Amino acid sequence: MTGMMTTGTTTIGMMTGTINPRVRLTEILGALAARVQTGAAKAFAITLADMENSAIIDAVEQDRVNEVRELIEEYLEWMISTHPEPQKVREVLASQGTDSELADLAGHYERIWLATVDDAPAGCIMYKPLSETTAEFKRLYVRPTGRGHGFGRRLVEITIGAIKEAGYKEVVLDSDPKLATAIAMYGRMGFEYIKPYNDNPAQDAVFMRMKL
């Protein structure tokens, strides 16, 4: 794994924006059109120079879980507003119990990371145990104008390193085939396609695994 880590901190780069962290999923869905039109999810554009002022921190240790919640809500909005089958996304999110997840992120996940630029929220990732040997990472999100600089890969690398250090033997994920860029990145990093390991209702859901 590349990069330096000190007490849950390493280098990264991305952007900022705000959403009410207590909004329930149903309210989020209802607010989509207005938010997309007003550009509320936009923030400052990222350049390579911003990487010097960026970090990945442990959101629980630094008491910044609410900011991760905001990013996840933004991510869900982005998924629904840009997906050609938004109802399918809603069904998948409902099957995952997203409302209860958002209400208690620290209770759902073993580790949660927040990426920042100039200390402003920029991206996130987290993982949870599925068994004594298997962990699953979820909610990888980099704000749209911060993509294309390798930030997503760095978040995944840090997560895989932590999962391996915690003693797990493999890491799994599920994804939507429309997220082709992310899926291709997972493949380059050593993930392989596997059969379904959960009850994701999407018939075309993608399932992948990396042995550690």
Instruction: State yes or no: pLDDT of 32 exceeds 60.
Output: no
**Mode of pairing for the β-strands spanning 192-193 and 206-211:** antiparallel
Instruction: State yes or no: pLDDT of 185 exceeds 60.
Output: yes
Mean pLDDT over residues 193-201, rounded? 97
Mean pLDDT of the chain: 81
Instruction: State yes or no: pLDDT of 27 exceeds 80.
Output: no
Residue 192: strand pairing partners: 209
Percent of residues, the chain, with pLDDT higher than 70: 75
Using left for φ > 0, alpha for ψ between -120 and 50, and beta otherwise, residue 176 falls in beta
Instruction: State yes or no: pLDDT of 175 exceeds 70.
Output: yes
Q: Which two tokens stand for residue 42?
A: 């936009």
Better pLDDT: 212 or 36: 212
3 state SS of 134: strand
Instruction: State yes or no: pLDDT of 100 exceeds 70.
Output: yes
Round to whole Å and give the CA distance between 79 and 194: 23
Q: What is the pLDDT of residue 7?
A: 38
Q: Which two tokens stand for residue 89?
A: 């996304």
Instruction: State yes or no: pLDDT of 4 exceeds 70.
Output: no
